[in-house]
Amino acid sequence: MKSIRFHQFGEPAEVLKIEDVRKPEPGNGEVLLKMLARPINPSDLLTIQGLYGALPQLPATPGFEGVGIIETLGSGVEGFSVGQRVIPLGTPGTWQEYMIVRAKSMLPVPDPINNETAAQFVVNPVTAWVMVTEDLKVGKGEWLLQTAAGSTLGRIVIQIGKLRGFKTINIVRRREQIDELKQIGANEVICSTDESIVDRVSEITKKTGVFAAIDAVGGQVGGEVARSLARNGVMLSYGRLSPDPIPLDVGTMIFRTSSVRGFWLSDWFKTTPSARQAGVLNELLQLMVQGKIVPPVEATYDLDDIINAVKHAQSSGRRGKVLLTSK
């Protein structure tokens, strides 16, 4: 079977190779999945570059999420059937034709959800939902400030805001994204290359600032977001698109008792009771069934075209996720 692998860390287009490896057989409590689609996420690219917080032993196959169809059931597996579509949870290595997954780590996909949406279920929708509804608990009518608003996760946050009734202030780098994001429901959009984030947030919130913010950029932009927090405001940092650290104004934070802390979805899965996890996942699945949360797709590439796919995923100006598909 085909498997995308890398034997050293480096630029994805330079180190990724298509290799022919032995098709695995499921053991007790396991299933063999034929993978149908998988997204290329920033976490995947950072892992390949050796820059992610948790790195695999080499050689490795990338991919933290995807959707597949059950081809073979191992012994002792109940509640699933051959031909059923499922999402593997917490099982890396999705960038290959087949993979072994523990049956207890699979989520059935409702029929109305297509493969492109199901493949993106975990990383962006769950991260966005947990940050704004579980962690920050943004209430109806309140403001949420977010960076990288044109990203897949940023667009999902805008969808969640429309559902939950909170308002979004969205930071982008390119002016042409302003009208585009407003058309999908963004309340306010700030172009960071043209105007001061701090001044615009102050103007929008009538000098109050925001009580909730999420940041995927870091660097100077992250620092301006932190300065835009209201008294007791919280900023969650979930990404680092900028190589520079966030310059924090500690004096302002002290007197506003504001805070900045990290968010990592893997940690949420490790520390959250399974019943609560199931509640969140099921709620999101139903919203996807209803078409209320739909992760956008920029393009799809066959697994064989991995080099062009990762180059596209690393390009700027995308309006959705790049997916790897299999026939």
Residue 22, CA distances (Å) to 3, 19, 48 in order: 9, 10, 22
Residue 318: CB atoms within 10 Å: 16
| Contact call for residues 216 and 127 (beta carbons, < 8 A) | no
Classify 95 as helix, strand or coil: coil
| Contact call for residues 88 and 106 (beta carbons, < 8 A) | yes
Identify whether 98 is a catalytic site residue.
no
Q: Which long-range contacts (CB under 8 A, 24 or more apart) does 205-212 make?
A: 205/143, 205/230, 209/233, 209/256, 210/143, 210/144, 210/145, 210/169, 211/142, 211/143, 212/132, 212/136, 212/138, 212/142, 212/143, 212/144, 212/145
Classify 280 as helix, strand or coil: helix
Q: Tokens 């309340």 — which residue?
A: 187
Give dist(CA 212, CA 224) in Å, integer. 14
Residue 165: CB atoms within 10 Å: 11
- Closest by CA to 302, choosing from 323, 321, 282, 278, is 323
168: exposed, middle or buried (Cβ count in 10 Å: 0-12, 13-18, 19+):
buried
52, 98, 238, 301: the catalytic one is: 52
Give dist(CA 179, CA 84) in Å, integer. 41
Give 324's strand partners.
Answer: 38, 301
Give dist(CA 178, CA 175) in Å, integer. 6
Please list the active-site residues: 52
